[in-house]
């Protein structure tokens, strides 16, 4: 899929952790040269404008367009200074290439205006431009009024190619937090861009640098393999042929059974009807230091067209999930007409995969040449129609888009596994919210239950929400993203009367919801599960583990409210209890909902008493982890301590968060929960 051109003066691979891959060639330069800039002399990092000015100085670029031809001729004289072999160049360390650049959005309002979109958030296309001057989204919430810092260094070199990793962080709440990572692969060319130029060998210092270098070797092999994946080069595999044929059969009119008579399947759109096009005149103002169109400008325009296409297709605002496989095949000359064509190639649930193809039209020769291919994955709130290919070429785009979406998910797994934790921003994991679609399951004479399920390895993770909550909360979605990243199954659902499930909430009981949990364990969950219960979900988790020990591999309780309704009511003063008994309902103050209270009936309390478990040893033998906040004003943390004392398992830990509250929904809370589950998965999968 990566196809760098040897003629391309600007070619490098940009790799963002969820699958962000960009290809772009660049003339060799020493990043360390930035350190002599005026900003560094003053003891601070340079800003983006200073970086670009310094780049111009390094390559001898003209600042005036009318002198560009003379500047290019002068650069040709530098060819005689190039090394004839890599051995003639001194080895460099990774530290030699370290650089830090600031983007002062917080302190320069005039600069901030250039980065705002109409939603008053940062334009991601502008970030692509800045990265190209110097990528996995750890979160896609980039604050418009906080300074941004870019850091990076070389991590791998070949004979003429260089891999460099860049990290983007943003100053917020008194500290810099990670936002985005990128990997560029650049190929050095001679001053006339006629042949490759040797680069300095890399001197490795320590095991961490050796690990980075080995990853660079792996990345190189992967690029070679992916470059042969297109139908333009190889025939489809047997599985791909079956998929293509199946898609074709689904579009045949059964009345005529003719190749010419095609019909759209239900809830689908022809790929031909999911296009959007654009045109740009390439003016000198958009040139790079080599006097061709700036690659970042092309990336921004492609992203914005892809976003607009996804927005029009879905009828709602798309959120970027990943950018994958951007190929810079040919430089774009100043004065060219740039034609951009956006095509929605694949959809899955509420995800949209967009391919943007750019080509240049040389106005005087009327020649068309492909310059770039981009792939963007977006997510919208509601599920979207499927797109159906009508031609062989369209099938290639459709199949490739499906592969890209899967690759995006594998990238998330790598990001989490390497410490790039996507749950730093629970609402946007990766910039990635890959939400499963809602499904419903019927039960004889009982309300339907709504659920979301991700298939994968065992043990799976099954999330049980709290009282009055649902499966779409921040913890539930973060857990699904985490499970998806590791390839483990995940199941979350709404109890009867909750969320999207059928039933009347006020008629629900602990016994009703226990039956819901057992039904989902028996009928929907695949294989053994790690049960994760929040608040009342923690109580139900314990009840389910007692009833289904063979299906329960481990338990993670979050603010576990075992027996809590019953014990809290019985702890009330006698007169107060009598008043509630006469009234028939009990109003409980809480900070966990907007109303500030919830009400339960006395019948609910009496039924709940049948399921109390803290009065005797709890017959659970699997590993148990109980996470609780010391500032929980709804369910005191000592409830988790009571559970730990009564559980018979020999493997029980209680984890107390000093500033944790009942919902445990802050980013650090969720990170702790994810790490706890991750440790359990490691423990369970390494037991022999």
Catalytic residues: 535, 632, 662
Helix (H) / strand (E) element for 150: namely: strand 148-157
Cα–Cα nearest to 196, from 41, 82, 317, 367: 82
Q: Where are the beta strands (DSSP E) in 444-559?
A: 446-454, 457-464, 488-493, 529-534, 552-558
Residue 292 pairs in a beta bridge with 333
Q: Hey, what are 400's tokens? A: 């490739």
- Integer CA distances (angstroms), 604 to 18, 370, 466, 507, in order: 46, 68, 16, 8
Cα–Cα nearest to 340, from 368, 359, 316, 314: 359
Q: What is d(CA 25, CA 329) in angstroms, rounded to the nearest whole number?
A: 9
Cα–Cα nearest to 326, from 352, 296, 350: 296
Q: CB count, 10 Å around CB of 448?
A: 15
Residue 629 pairs in a beta bridge with 657
Handedness of CA 578, 582, 585, 590 (dihedral sign): negative
Angle separating helix axes 510-523 and 536-547, nearest 10 degrees: 60
Cα–Cα nearest to 15, from 415, 329, 405: 415
Handedness of CA 352, 120, 276, 359 (dihedral sign): negative
Q: What is d(CA 323, CA 321) in angstroms, rounded to the nearest whole number?
A: 7
Cα–Cα nearest to 11, from 351, 292, 230: 292
554 exposed, middle or buried (CB, 10 Å; 0-12, 13-18, 19+)? buried
Q: What is d(CA 623, CA 649) in angstroms, rounded to the nearest whole number?
A: 7
Q: What is d(CA 666, CA 424) in angstroms, rounded to the nearest whole number?
A: 9
């Amino acid at each position: 899929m990566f196809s760098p051109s040897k003629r391309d003066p600007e070619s490098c691979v940009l790799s963002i952790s969820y699958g962000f891959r960009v290809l772009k060639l660049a003339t060799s330069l020493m990043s360390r040269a930035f350190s002599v800039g005026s900003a560094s002399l003053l003891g601070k990092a340079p800003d983006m404008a200073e970086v670009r000015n310094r780049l111009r100085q390094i390559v001898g670029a003209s600042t005036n367009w009318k002198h560009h031809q003379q500047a290019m001729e002068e650069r040709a004289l530098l060819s005689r200074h190039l090394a004839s072999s890599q051995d003639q160049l001194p080895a460099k360390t990774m530290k030699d290439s370290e650089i830090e650049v600031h983007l002062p959005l917080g302190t320069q309002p005039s600069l901030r205006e250039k980065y705002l979109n109409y939603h008053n958030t940062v334009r991601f296309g502008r970030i692509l431009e800045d990265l190209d001057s110097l990528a996995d989204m750890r979160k896609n919430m980039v604050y418009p009024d906080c300074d941004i810092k870019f850091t990076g260094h070389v991590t791998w070199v070949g004979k003429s190619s260089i891999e460099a990793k860049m990290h983007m962080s943003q100053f917020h709440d008194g500290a810099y937090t990670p936002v985005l990572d990128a990997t560029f692969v650049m190929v050095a060319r001679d001053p006339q861009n006629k042949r490759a130029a040797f680069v300095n060998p890399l001197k490795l210092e320590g095991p961490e640098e050796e690990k980075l270098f080995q990853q660079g070797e792996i990345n190189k092999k992967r690029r070679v393999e992916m470059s042969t994946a297109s139908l333009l080069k190889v025939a489809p595999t047997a599985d791909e042929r079956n998929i293509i044929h199946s898609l074709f059969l689904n579009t045949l009119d059964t009345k005529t059974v003719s190749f010419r008579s095609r019909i759209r399947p239900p809830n689908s759109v022809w790929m031909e009807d999911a296009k959007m096009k654009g045109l740009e005149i390439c003016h000198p103002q958009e040139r790079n230091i080599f006097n061709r169109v700036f690659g970042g400008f092309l990336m921004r325009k492609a992203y914005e067209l892809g976003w607009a296409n996804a927005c029009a297709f879905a009828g709602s605002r798309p959120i970027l999930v990943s950018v994958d496989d951007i190929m810079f095949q040919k430089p774009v000359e100043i004065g060219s007409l740039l034609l951009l064509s956006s095509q929605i190639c694949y959809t899955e649930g509420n995800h949209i995969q967009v391919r943007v193809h750019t080509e240049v039209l040389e106005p005087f020769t009327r020649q068309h040449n492909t310059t770039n291919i981009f792939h963007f994955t977006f997510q919208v709130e509601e599920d979207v129609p499927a797109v159906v290919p009508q031609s062989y070429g369209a099938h290639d785009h459709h199949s490739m888009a499906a592969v890209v979406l899967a690759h995006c998910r594998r990238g998330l797994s790598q990001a989490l596994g390497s410490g790039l934790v996507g749950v730093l921003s629970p609402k946007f994991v990766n910039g990635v919210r890959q939400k499963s679609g809602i499904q419903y399951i019927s039960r004889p004479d009982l309300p339907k239950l709504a659920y979301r399920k991700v298939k994968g390895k065992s043990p799976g993770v099954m999330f049980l929400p709290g009282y009055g909550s649902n499966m779409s909360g921040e913890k539930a979605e973060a857990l699904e993203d985490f499970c998806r990243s590791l390839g483990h199954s995940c199941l979350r659902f709404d109890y009867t009367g909750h969320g999207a499930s059928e039933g009347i909430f006020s008629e629900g009981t602990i016994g009703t919801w226990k039956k819901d949990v057992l039904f989902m364990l028996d009928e929907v969950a695949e294989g053994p599960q790690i049960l994760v219960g929040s608040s009342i979900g923690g109580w139900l988790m314990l009840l389910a583990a007692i009833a289904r020990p063979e299906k329960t591999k481990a338990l993670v309780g979050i603010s576990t409210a075992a027996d809590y309704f019953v014990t809290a009511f019985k702890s009330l003063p006698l007169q107060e209890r009598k008043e509630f008994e006469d009234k028939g309902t009990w109003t409980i103050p809480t900070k966990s909902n907007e109303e500030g209270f919830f009400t339960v009936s006395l019948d609910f309390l009496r039924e709940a008493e049948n399921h109390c478990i803290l009065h005797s040893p709890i017959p659970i033998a699997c590993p148990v982890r109980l996470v609780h906040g010391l500032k929980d004003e709804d369910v005191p943390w000592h409830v988790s301590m009571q559970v730990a004392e009564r559980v018979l398992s020999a493997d029980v830990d209680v984890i107390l968060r000093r500033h944790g509250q009942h919902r445990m929904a802050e980013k650090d809370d969720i990170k702790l929960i994810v790490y706890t589950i991750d440790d359990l998965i490691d423990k369970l999968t390494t037991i022999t």
